């Protein structure tokens, strides 16, 4: 299983009403993106971490490793925003390189920091939803929102096929390792290319077999999953309403001040 999927099934918030969690995550994400305040992003970040780790029971070390993935992308992207190659030194920093300067401005540094804290806070909203709500429950919420059935079916099939791809790639990698196909860099490159081509061919075959199996079970264009109805609790609804109201006030204040 995918790590996130496995942690989701182990979460203590797994059986909380899925619509509540979906609305909370989407509204909090919207407030975080709309706000210009670092305080709003900090509140969103720490509240989501608390709910996911403390309330949900997700190990903090595992959660921290998951946060490192978007943090690495942010580091690369913000570096491109901050660092410039210019003949004129800017006010934040400047490192001479012959007749040029590796330099950056204070405004670009502040903009990069703003992008980082808003992006990380937004990621925690998505992590909260993905680490506490299984895919079938999310699709059930989308059905209630009257998302086109074709989109939902594609999401379900793609989600299911991810596991087939991972299983096939794992089997190919194990076979290559047993033949010492990764003993040095050159053979690793050759083995990686071979795995890519074999994965493509086998994936096409397995997708065809999967579709045949679905048709043999009377597949008519819709995957029917029996939903688990979990009533929403008034206390949770009041918490979400109050929390989002506070975030809305902070977002409005960040724009009018």
**5-45 per-position pLDDT tens digit:** 888 888 898 888 988 999 999 999 999 888 888 889 899 99
Q: Give Cα separations from 92 to 3, 55, 104, 106, 193 (angstroms).
A: 41, 42, 6, 5, 44
Residue-averaged pLDDT of the chain: 84
Assign 1 a pLDDT band (cuts: 50, 70, 90).
low
- pLDDT tens digit string along 43-96? 999 999 999 999 999 999 999 998 998 888 888 888 877 887 777 777 777 788
- pLDDT tens digit string along 115-164? 888 899 999 999 999 999 888 888 888 888 888 888 888 888 888 788 77
Question: What phi-psi label fits residue 94: left (phi over 0), alpha (psi between -120 and 50 degrees) or beta?
Answer: beta
What is the distance between the alpha carbons of residues 195 and 169, in angstroms, rounded to a whole number?
7
The predicted structure's pLDDT at residue 50: 94
Is the pLDDT score of 254 beyond 70? yes
Question: Burial letters for 28-38: b for 16+ Cβ neighbours within 10 Å, e otherwise?
Answer: bbbbbeebebe
The predicted structure's pLDDT at residue 217: 79
Alpha-carbon torsion (15, 58, 48, 134), positive or negative: negative
The predicted structure's pLDDT at residue 37: 84
* Under 8 Å between Cβ of 87 and 103: no
């Amino acid at each position: 299983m995918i790590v996130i999927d496995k942690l989701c099934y182990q979460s203590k918030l797994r059986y909380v009403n899925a619509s509540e969690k979906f609305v909370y995550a989407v509204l909090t994400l919207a407030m975080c993106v709309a706000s210009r305040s670092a305080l709003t992003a900090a509140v969103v970040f720490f509240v989501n971490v608390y709910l996911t780790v403390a309330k949900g029971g997700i190990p903090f070390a595992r959660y921290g490793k998951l946060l490192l993935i978007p943090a690495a992308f942010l580091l690369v992207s913000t570096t491109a925003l901050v660092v410039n190659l210019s003949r004129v030194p800017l006010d934040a920093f400047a490192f001479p390189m012959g007749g040029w300067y590796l330099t950056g401005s204070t405004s670009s540094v502040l903009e990069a920091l703003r992008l980082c804290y808003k992006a990380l806070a937004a990621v925690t909203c998505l992590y909260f939803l993905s680490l506490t709500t299984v895919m079938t429950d999310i699709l059930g919420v989308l059905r209630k929102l009257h998302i086109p059935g074709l989109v939902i079916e594609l999401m379900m099939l793609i989600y299911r096929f991810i596991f087939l791809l991972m299983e096939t790639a794992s089997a190919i990698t194990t076979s290559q390792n047993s033949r010492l196909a990764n003993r040095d860099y050159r053979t690793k490159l050759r083995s990686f290319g071979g795995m890519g081509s074999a994965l493509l061919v086998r994936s096409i075959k397995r997708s065809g077999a999967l579709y045949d199996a679905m048709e043999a079970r009377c597949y008519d264009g819709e995957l029917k999953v029996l939903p688990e109805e979990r009533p929403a609790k008034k206390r949770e609804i009041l918490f979400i309403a109050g929390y989002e109201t506070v975030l809305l006030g902070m977002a409005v204040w960040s724009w009018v001040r």
